[in-house]
């Protein structure tokens, strides 16, 4: 009884040049995307107030509050912002974990009473950026936009993207 041995040669086939080019291009795109994400995460963390309304802002005060009151003594204050002006302050990391905090914003337009809004929901360590924008709506009303950004990856425990209509003539904030 004789056994026949099958001789099979396994040969390697070379990749096509177009396939190599596609793989190299995909690797370069992945590296560039990673670099862009790293840069975006390491950008300056700040709070910025922009007055695009026609009325001068005498002051804007922002601070975090929970059910027991202000979370810390640190108050972010911006003063004397005329039309088209903006101002920013650097933000440190703020531990708001398990506090169910809000960002309270108190503001006063020249010739009007002080008003305030509680914006957002912060229940985690916040190390992001905040923007507060005031824009004209119509006679005696200003649109207040408050947005907090936690970076490239959003946190389910931080939510702040709100708009409020400020009725200066009547002296209240519409919801």
Q: Which residues contact 15 (CB under 8 A, 6 or more apart)?
A: none
**Better-scored residue on pLDDT, 84 or 8:** 84
Residues in the chain: 175
pTM of the model: 0.76
| Region 50-72 average pLDDT | 93
- Write out pLDDT tens, residues 6-40: 556 677 778 888 888 899 999 999 999 888 877 77
Please state which CATH number belongs to domain 46-174.
Answer: 2.60.40
Half-sphere exposure of residue 110: CA atoms within 13 angstroms, side-chain side: 12
Check pLDDT > 70 for residue 125: yes
- Write out pLDDT tens, residues 105-117: 999 999 999 999 9
Concatenated DSSP letters of 68-120: TEESSS--EEEEEE-TT-EEEEE---EE-TTS-EEEEEEEEETTS-EEEEEEE
Domain boundaries, the chain: 15-44, 46-174
Rounded Cα distance, 166 and 158, in Å: 24
């Amino acid at each position: 009884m004789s056994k026949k041995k099958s001789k099979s040669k396994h040969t390697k086939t070379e990749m096509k040049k177009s396939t190599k080019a596609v793989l190299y291009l995909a690797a370069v795109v992945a590296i560039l995307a990673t670099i862009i994400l790293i840069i975006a995460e390491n950008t300056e963390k700040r709070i910025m107030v922009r007055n695009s309304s026609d009325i001068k802002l005498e002051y804007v005060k922002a601070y975090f509050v929970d059910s027991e009151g202000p979370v810390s003594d640190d108050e972010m204050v911006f003063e004397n912002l005329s039309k088209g002006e903006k101002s920013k302050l650097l933000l440190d990391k703020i531990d708001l974990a398990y506090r169910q905090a809000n960002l309270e914003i108190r503001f006063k337009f020249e010739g009007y009473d002080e008003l305030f809004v509680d914006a957002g929901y912060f229940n985690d360590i916040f190390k992001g950026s905040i923007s507060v924008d005031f824009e004209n709506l119509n006679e005696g009303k200003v649109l207040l936009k408050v947005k907090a950004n936690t970076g490239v990856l959003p946190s389910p425990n931080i939510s702040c993207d709100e708009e409020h209509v400020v009725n200066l003539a009547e002296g209240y904030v519409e919801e």
